[in-house]
């Protein structure tokens, strides 16, 4: 079977961090005989600059054909004034929606060498390894009606939180499946105390849970969940939640680990004909326009996103672990990009130096 990849570096620091991933992809071809058929294209502001749209139809079609899409980041101040319909983020949202990537895996893992770096106390975060599953194709992000309308003599802004049973069912199943492979604990978060969609969410997740008697299922209101995530995050294993709560809670969980620059994500859909799931991998961080083009960005989140691709799209879990351990050992050696340093007088590693170090650690793993 061939391994096809579509690479969309995007805007801001996207191209810099993706350049390091490309070197790592080549390493797997040269040293492990795992070849990838790679094509590259535009998404976000750079696509708008060239085509007047943040995602060209041809790019969308390519994304539907490949085994996995790897995305850097989209957006930047240059595009802030664009019409909503062509903003860089719309390109990303279109990919998620049209590929039907309903299950978004956002791990929050604290690397040992970075435990001191979290804003929380070391014992609260050391060894942390949780997974947030965010529903990604429905809810208030896509619900209709939406828009800004005239009502009497003023305007009203409307978005709709909407979930069907089948949408809840499928994301719940993906979360239970993952919990079975991990610590067999799943916490579902919603606001069933104030939202009907939350009541339905809780009912459907509970029903799906009957098919997974080994998984310990709990429910929490999302606001209490946010509180518990900062109080004692290690009580969680897998968390499943809707699109908007997942957006918020995953940023919160990310900061527990010290830096957004370390966190990957996978967005998975239904299996394709070859059995592989529709998939898009991207770092959790954004385009960081303030440091773009300066060689300062941390490529680890993007590198670790490729590790997730190895695991979830290409069934190469051992190679994914090899890459994750390479990143871990680089951090243990004390090699840090600027986002992972809080001491004065230490020269941070550049993006390329970080990539070099990971490649060296990969060589050492052979
Ligand atoms: C994320 C981002 C996106 C979202 C933006 C860029 C559209 O915040 O992936 O978490 O809100 O989903
Ligand atoms: Mg977000």
DSSP 182-242: TTSEEEEEE-TTT-HHHHHHHHHHHHHHTT-TTSEEEEEEHHHHHHHHHH-GGG-SEEEE-
pLDDT tens-digit readout, 142-200? 999 999 999 999 999 999 999 999 999 999 999 999 999 999 999 999 999 999 999 99
Nearest ligand to the C-alpha atom of residue 141? 1
With a cut of 80, say whether residue 1 has pLDDT above it.
no
pTM of the full predicted structure? 0.94
- Specify whether 191 is catalytic: yes
Lookup: tokens for 104: 């978004």
Average pLDDT over residues 242-246: 98
- On the question of pLDDT at 256 being above 90, the answer is no
Q: Is 244 in the pocket of ligand 1 (CB under 6 A)?
A: no
Tell me the per-residue pLDDT of 269-279, one tens digit each, with 9 for 90 and over.
999 999 999 99
Give yes or no for residue 169 CB within 6 A of ligand 1: no
The predicted structure's pLDDT at residue 116? 85
Model confidence over 10-48: pLDDT tens digits? 999 999 999 999 999 999 999 999 999 999 999 999 999
Find, among 321, 259, 225, the residue nearest to 108 by Cα: 259
Query: Which pLDDT band, with edges at 50, 70 and 90, does 254 fall under?
Result: confident
- Average pLDDT value for residue range 102-119: 90
Tell me which of 100, 129, 169, 251 is the catalytic residue.
Answer: 251
Contact 204, 167 (CB under 8 A): no
Active-site residue flag, 141: yes
> What is the model's pLDDT at position 321?
97
Q: Which ligand is nearest to the CA of 96?
A: 1
Section 123-146 average pLDDT = 96
**Largest interatomic CA distance in the chain:** 70
Q: What is the DSSP letter of 246?
A: H
Kindly report, residue by residue over 61-88, the tens digit of the pLDDT.
999 999 999 999 999 999 999 999 999 9
- For the question of residue 129 being annotated catalytic, the response is no
Tens digit of each residue's pLDDT (9 = 90 or more) over 198-222: 999 999 999 999 999 999 999 999 9
pLDDT at 21: 98
Residue with the nearest Cα to atom 9 of ligand 1? 284
According to the model, what pLDDT value does residue 115 have?
87
Positive or negative: CA dihedral 220, 223, 227, 230: positive
Distance between CA 241 and CA 131 in Å, rounded?
11
Task: State the span(s) of the chain assigned CATH 3.40.718.10.
Answer: 1-102+263-366, 129-256
122: annotated active-site residue: no
* Residue 315 is a catalytic residue: no
Contact 285, 75 (CB under 8 A): no
CA of 104, closest atom in ligand 1: 9
Quote the distance between the C-alpha of residue 15 and its chain's center: 17
The pLDDT assigned to 276 comes to 96
Question: Average model confidence (pLDDT) for the chain?
Answer: 96
At the top level of CATH, the class of 129-256 is: alpha beta
Q: Please tell me the residue having the least CA distance from ligand 1 atom 11.
A: 247
Residue 164 pLDDT: 98
Q: Is the pLDDT of residue 341 over 90?
A: no
Cα–Cα distance between 83 and 10 in angstroms, integer? 19
CATH 3.40.718.10 for the 1-102+263-366 domain, yes or no? yes
In this predicted structure, what is the pLDDT of residue 199? 98
Span from the CA of 49 to the centroid of ligand 1 (angstroms): 21
Q: What is the mean pLDDT of residues 335-342?
A: 89
Confidence of residue 119 (pLDDT cuts 50, 70, 90): confident
Mean pLDDT along residues 304-324: 97
Does residue 89 line the site of ligand 1, with CB under 6 A? yes
pLDDT the model gives residue 97: 94
Task: Fill in the DSSP letter of residue 257.
Answer: T
Confidence of residue 345 (pLDDT cuts 50, 70, 90): confident
Confidence of residue 257 (pLDDT cuts 50, 70, 90): confident
**Arithmetic mean of pLDDT, 309-317:** 96
Q: Is the pLDDT of residue 342 over 80?
A: no
pLDDT > 90? residue 118 = no
Q: What per-residue confidence (pLDDT) applies to 344?
A: 77
């Amino acid at each position: 079977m061939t391994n096809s990849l579509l690479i969309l570096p995007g805007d801001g620091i996207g191209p810099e961090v993706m350049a390091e991933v490309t070197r790592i992809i080549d390493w797997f071809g040269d040293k492990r005989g795992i070849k990838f058929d790679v094509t590259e294209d535009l998404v976000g502001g750079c696509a708008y600059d060239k085509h007047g749209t943040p995602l060209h139809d041809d790019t969308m079609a390519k994304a539907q054909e490949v085994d996995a899409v790897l995305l850097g980041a989209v957006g930047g101040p240059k595009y802030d004034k664009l019409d909503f319909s062509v903003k860089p983020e719309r390109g990303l949202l279109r990919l998620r929606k049209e590929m039907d990537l309903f299950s978004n895996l956002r791990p929050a893992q604290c690397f040992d060498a970075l435990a001191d770096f979290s804003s929380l106390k070391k014992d609260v975060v050391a060894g942390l390894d949780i997974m947030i599953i965010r529903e990604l194709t429905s809810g208030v992000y896509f619900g209709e009606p939406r828009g800004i309308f005239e009502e009497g003599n003023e305007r009203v802004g409307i978005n709709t939180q909407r979930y069907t049973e089948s949408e809840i069912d499928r994301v719940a199943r993906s979360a239970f499946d993952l919990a079975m492979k991990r610590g067999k604990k799943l916490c579902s978060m919603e606001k069933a105390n104030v939202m009907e969609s939350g009541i339905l969410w809780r009912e459907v997740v509970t029903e799906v849970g009957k098919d997974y008697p080994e998984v310990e299922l709990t429910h929490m209101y999302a606001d209490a969940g946010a509180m518990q995530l900062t109080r004692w995050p290690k009580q969680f294993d897998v968390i499943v939640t809707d699109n908007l709560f997942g957006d918020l809670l995953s940023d919160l969980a990310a900061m527990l680990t010290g830096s957004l620059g370390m966190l990957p994500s996978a967005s998975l859909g239904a299996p394709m004909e070859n059995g592989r799931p529709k998939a898009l991998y991207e770092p959790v961080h954004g385009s960081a326009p303030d440091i773009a083009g300066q060689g300062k960005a941390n490529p680890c989140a993007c590198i670790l996103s490729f590790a997730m691709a190895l695991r979830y799209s290409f069934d190469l879990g051992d190679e994914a672990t090899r890459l994750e351990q390479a990143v871990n050992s680089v951090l243990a050696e004390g090699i840090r990009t600027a986002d992972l340093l809080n001491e004065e007088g230490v020269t941070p590693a550049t993006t390329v130096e970080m990539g070099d170090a990971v490649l060296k650690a990969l060589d050492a793993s052979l």
